[in-house]
A and B are shown apart, each in its own frame.
Chain A
């Protein structure tokens, strides 16, 4: 879901950068407060893993493919949506600057979409559905699916504002593809939460009640 430069006019791209920078600043504040010496390696390994898994495009029907985003996973494992902003910003900078994956003028939009929206939707849907399911794995699946699907719809709206996609057709096609890609996101999120939770039960705390 990396937006290339040509998809958004520069003034709008600049506005998305401003919003993204605000959240990046908040994520750095989160890092200063929450990143204790012993949690830094966990954050780094998660960031590296998310970068690697984003390189695997899995085929879906209709001549299309999709890859994991990882924002919900980061937010669930580290217990904050700002963790997703922190990690996805890092991943998107390396992807954009080194590999031309996602534009540079529109990187603010990509950080806003995949880091901020993906992270917040992932985190709060996980906290929201856990009390109903009482099981972290299906909660992680739903959080992963929703984080990707909602982000895709937001991108469709941004494309409509940019004049790139007509709103309705954009929502339908982005929703169709990412409804399926979301299954990949949810599945890998749940599998990764399972592996981490099995190896180190102390890392992921079960959310006892809905976030206040």
Chain B
């Protein structure tokens, strides 16, 4: 059985490796929900290839009108990008996110279990 510390460090190493690789291997196709949305709003055939840009933007405006939810928020690293850093910026931002999730989970876990 693997030693506890080694097991945890191996886990962190795997997570960081996945994070660093992600932007280089991930597909930029729309995800399932987005694809369904684009299909339903006529920017893409349900079983067709990638959508076209112009129709996609029109679809996004159309759905905002339907729901009336026009809330928007400028996140610090929109879509995992860091301005001017291309793919390496994406890798950096996903690594930062991974470490942040790790740190918050450790902190929150300690806080909650100590509260007993």
Q: Which residues of A contact B (CB under 8 A)?
A: 1-3, 5-10, 13, 28, 31-32, 35-38, 40-49, 51-53, 55-67, 87, 90-91, 94-101, 103-106, 152, 155-156, 162-166, 169-170, 172-174, 176-178, 181, 199-202
**With A100-B79, A103-B71 already in contact, 5 other A-B pairs whose C-beta atoms are closer than 8 Å:** A6-B71, A9-B67, A31-B109, A46-B11, A65-B28
From known contacts A31-B109, A49-B18, A66-B31, infer whether A166 and B40 are also in contact, taking CB-CB under 8 Å: yes
Complex-state Cα separation, A121 to B77, whole angstroms: 32
Identify which of B18, B109, B115 contacts A53 (C-beta below 8 A).
B18
Q: Is B58 an interface residue (CB 8 A)?
A: no
Query: Closest CB of chain B to A57's CB: distance in Å?
Result: 5
B39 to A173, Cβ gap below 8 A? Answer: yes
Q: Which residues of chain A are within 8 angstroms of B10 by Cβ–Cβ distance?
A: 199
B48 to A51, Cβ gap below 8 A? Answer: no
The size bracket of the interface on B is 35 or more
Complex-state Cα separation, A105 to B32, whole angstroms: 21
> In this complex, which of B25, B31, B94, B104 has the most chain A Cβ atoms within 10 angstroms of its Cβ?
B31
Q: Which residues of chain A are within 8 angstroms of B106 by Cβ–Cβ distance?
A: 40-41, 44
